[in-house]
Amino acid sequence: MSEISFDDFLKVDIRVGKVVRAEPYPEARKPAIKMWIDFGDEIGERRTSAQITAHYDPATLVGKQVMAVVNFPPRQIGKFMSEVLVLGLPDDKGEILLIGPDGEVPTGGRMH
């Protein structure tokens, strides 16, 4: 494991957003879901795709608060442009569970 400085950590902008739209992404190489996430007035709505179909379907994601890195450059994922990186952890089978707050928090809040 390589060490980073606290200043390096502060460069990563991790915010909470609310999923406002989600749909299957069957064109992806691995099963995925496309999401549109609202990060509040400062950042606005951004989109992403994630390989999270083992634990989520699009209907259950709408309204969910998730954590995401919002200051990476956009990345082309197939025919879809991903603008943020949602954060998650693998379960015992390697399937991703999204990270989010335990309770409702203001949209767009930055992780400390």
What's the confidence (pLDDT) of residue 1? Answer: 86
* pLDDT tens per residue across span 78-94: 889 999 999 999 999 99
What are the structural domains, with CATH classification, of the chain? 13-98 (2.40.50.140)
Q: Give the pLDDT of residue 41.
A: 97
Phi, psi (rounded to 5 degrees) for 66: -135, 155
Closest CA to 55 of 37, 25, 33: 33
Tell me the C-alpha distance between 41 and 26, whole Å. 31
- What is the structure's pLDDT at 29? 86
> What one-character DSSP code corresponds to residue 30?
S
pLDDT tens digits, 45-54: 999 999 999 9
- Give the pLDDT band of residue 107 (cuts 50, 70, 90): very high
User: Among positive and negative, which fits the CA dihedral 90, 111, 100, 67?
Assistant: negative
Whether the Cβ atoms of residue 35 and residue 21 lie closer than 8 Å to each other: yes
Q: Are 65 and 18 in contact (CB under 8 A)?
A: yes
pLDDT-derived band at 77 (thresholds 50, 70, 90) equals: confident
